[in-house]
Chain A
Amino acid sequence: MVSFADQLLVLVMLINFIMLGSSRLAFAIRAVAVQGVVLGIIPGLLHPFSGHLLAITVSIILAKGMVIPYLINDAVRKAQIRREVEPFLGYVPTLLLGAVFTALAFVFAQKLPLAPEHRDLLFVPASIATLMTGFLILTTRKKAISQVIGYLVLENGIFIFGLLLAEAMPFMVEAGALLDLLVGIFVMGIVINHISREFSSVDTSRLQALREE
């Protein structure tokens, strides 16, 4: 089962690359939803079956795979965004940067003082690589929605790291983290609506220009 979880983590890292390279917003949202579902499956594979585990798995898949993507899609519709992602950096440079960061994540994970049973697993490198991808998306994209997606990917990275401890982590902590995320997305949605109403666009680079009225 552990090797199957490793394959799923490879899939998660591939989705990172897809998100870095895709120019369509709707496609990126769907990719993040798929990533969420894959991440939801992993804890179910790793730990012995229990009601607690089932609740976590189901709630993660529901939140990450359905509710949050739905909310983002809703924000996209309300702010009437067309389709482009509009990066500061081109797609190919971000893809290459993503690849370099992934490679560095593997190097870095090997240097970390990990427990011997975690050393050969993909969890730590995958978590760092996903974190870095989230950072990249957050910093290189102009549209506020793409930045929300970057934030989600960042959170997914943290979640992968938490998977190693999933059994030790009480359900309430996990639920609290998910709730935080949900509230974050709500706030972001409201902010995006405001930005789009004030500037008639959600291009965050316009926020740098001061103007008086």
Chain B
Amino acid sequence: MPSTLFHILLLLLMPPLLLGVINKTKAAFAGRVGAPCLQPYYDLAKLLRKGSVFSSTTTWVFRAGPVVTLAATLVAALLVPLGNHPAIISFNGDMILFAYLFGLARFFTTSAALDTGSAFEGMGAAREVTFACLVEPTLFFILITLARMSKSLSLTPMLLYPSPAVWGEAGAAMLLLVGALFIALLAENCRIPFDDPTTHLELTMIHEVMVLDHSGPAFGLILYGAALKLFVLGAVFVNLALPFKSGNLLVDWAAFAAAMLFLAVLVGVVESVMARLRLVRIPQLLVAATILSAFAMLLIVR
């Protein structure tokens, strides 16, 4: 029970911290002091206190967008085991639900963007969906490979399965999976090689352009939802990449939290040393990630 409580607390409170750590890392690389790590919390608090402006051309879809997106991401977050603790909800086949909750979230984000009737936001929605199509096979190849390795269709046994022994035995396949998952994580969260989350008025951006018309609490929900998505996919990544199990509850939670912070630093480093790819090169990288994960599956199935 305390573990469940801790799970929920961590889930609700930690995500903005990851964004703060990423920004701090980028600032350190650029030689700046940067905003404090807690800045995203202040931003959220500020946005939630503000009023909202809704265009008269929008319908209920526009208002539902942020709410449904956040709700779907939250439910997905309950399906993922954190640290060494099993997920709160777990049943056979929940990996499909997990993948399509993200699909639902994306559907409502893009629908809300289309609902504004702005050509600019429609363009962002089209790009988001195009790249999502290319990320999905990667995600599924990874899930199928894990399902095959752990002989289970539920996320909790699948993600708790990797252990040092598994890494020793199928190290190459695991490494490929981790690499593919990292690329998928960057693409899903619109981080730098795919999309620049800090630009606000450029023709090349993807995610930010879709949420331009949201304001106040609605925008706060979107920001929080984006952070939560990074947290959930990051938890999947950490479960795969760090097969650390001590058995002691506190140590496991501490290791998990530290690993998540390290992942945030890693994302910050990638964002600092890489430039955003040209739009035509993005599918190439995503296809490469798909091939990596497919190859990992091949090695396991053989």
Report which A residues bind B (CB closer than 8 A): 3, 6-7, 10-11, 13-14, 17, 21, 91-92, 95-96, 98-99, 102-103, 106, 110, 125
* B185 contacts partner chain A, Cβ-Cβ < 8 Å: no
Q: When the two chains form their complex, are residues A10 and B288 in contact, meaning their CB atoms are under 8 A apart? A: no
Q: When the two chains form their complex, are residues A106 and B284 in contact, meaning their CB atoms are under 8 A apart? A: no
Which A residues touch B302, using CB under 8 A? 106, 110, 125
Q: When the two chains form their complex, are residues B284 and A6 in contact, meaning their CB atoms are under 8 A apart? A: no
Q: When the two chains form their complex, are residues B284 and A92 in contact, meaning their CB atoms are under 8 A apart? A: yes
Seed contacts A92-B287, A99-B295, A103-B294; 16 additional CB < 8 Å A-B pairs: A3-B169, A6-B172, A7-B172, A10-B172, A10-B176, A10-B299, A11-B172, A14-B176, A17-B295, A21-B284, A91-B284, A95-B288, A99-B291, A102-B295, A110-B302, A125-B302
Q: Show 18 residue pairs from A and B whose CB-CB distance is below 8 angstroms, ordered by the A residue.
A: A6-B172, A10-B172, A10-B299, A13-B295, A14-B176, A17-B288, A17-B295, A21-B284, A92-B283, A95-B288, A95-B291, A96-B287, A99-B294, A99-B295, A103-B294, A103-B298, A110-B302, A125-B302
Q: When the two chains form their complex, are residues B291 and A17 in contact, meaning their CB atoms are under 8 A apart? A: yes
Which A residues touch B171, using CB under 8 A? 7
Query: In the complex, A21 Cα to B284 Cα: how many Å?
Result: 8
Query: In the complex, A92 Cα to B290 Cα: how many Å?
Result: 11
The 0/1 profile, CB within 8 Å of A marked 1, for residues 61-105 of chain B is 000000000000000000000000000000000000000000000
Q: What 6 A-B pairs come out closest when comparing CB atoms? A: A10-B172, A99-B291, A7-B172, A92-B287, A106-B302, A106-B298
Min CB distance A97 to B, Å, is 11
Q: When the two chains form their complex, are residues A102 and B288 in contact, meaning their CB atoms are under 8 A apart? A: no
The 0/1 profile, CB within 8 Å of A marked 1, for residues 102-120 of chain B is 0000000000000000000
Min CB distance A12 to B, Å, is 11
Min CB distance A7 to B, Å, is 5
Query: In the complex, A13 Cα to B172 Cα: how many Å?
Result: 11
Interface residue tally for chain B (C-beta within 8 Å): 15
Instruction: Determine the main DSSP class of A at the interface with B.
Output: helix
Q: When the two chains form their complex, are residues A21 and B288 in contact, meaning their CB atoms are under 8 A apart? A: yes
Q: When the two chains form their complex, are residues B298 and A96 in contact, meaning their CB atoms are under 8 A apart? A: no
Which A residues touch B298, using CB under 8 A? 102-103, 106
Which B residues touch A95, using CB under 8 A? 284, 287-288, 291
Least CB separation from A105: chain B residue = B298
Least CB separation from B171: chain A residue = A7
Least CB separation from A7: chain B residue = B172
Query: In the complex, A209 Cα to B291 Cα: how many Å?
Result: 37
Least CB separation from B168: chain A residue = A3
Least CB separation from A90: chain B residue = B284
Query: In the complex, A187 Cα to B295 Cα: how many Å?
Result: 36
Which A residues touch B288, using CB under 8 A? 17, 21, 95
Question: Provided the pairs A102-B298, A103-B298 are in contact, do residues A96 and B284 lie with their beta carbons within 8 angstroms?
Answer: no
Query: In the complex, A11 Cα to B294 Cα: how many Å?
Result: 15
Which A residues touch B287, using CB under 8 A? 92, 95-96
Min CB distance B229 to A, Å, is 27
Query: In the complex, A3 Cα to B292 Cα: how many Å?
Result: 20
Which A residues touch B292, using CB under 8 A? 14, 17
Query: In the complex, A131 Cα to B18 Cα: how many Å?
Result: 45
Min CB distance A47 to B, Å, is 22
Least CB separation from A110: chain B residue = B302
Min CB distance B193 to A, Å, is 15
Query: In the complex, A106 Cα to B302 Cα: how many Å?
Result: 7
Query: In the complex, A116 Cα to B224 Cα: how many Å?
Result: 56
Min CB distance B285 to A, Å, is 9
Least CB separation from A21: chain B residue = B288
Query: In the complex, A95 Cα to B292 Cα: how many Å?
Result: 11
Within 8 A of A (CB), among B15-63: none
Min CB distance B86 to A, Å, is 31
Query: In the complex, A9 Cα to B54 Cα: how many Å?
Result: 58
Query: In the complex, A103 Cα to B299 Cα: how many Å?
Result: 10
Query: In the complex, A147 Cα to B273 Cα: how many Å?
Result: 33
Which B residues touch A14, using CB under 8 A? 176, 292, 295
Query: In the complex, A13 Cα to B292 Cα: how many Å?
Result: 11
Min CB distance B96 to A, Å, is 24
Looking at A6, A11, A14, the one whose CB has the most chain B CB atoms below 10 A away is: A14
Min CB distance B148 to A, Å, is 15
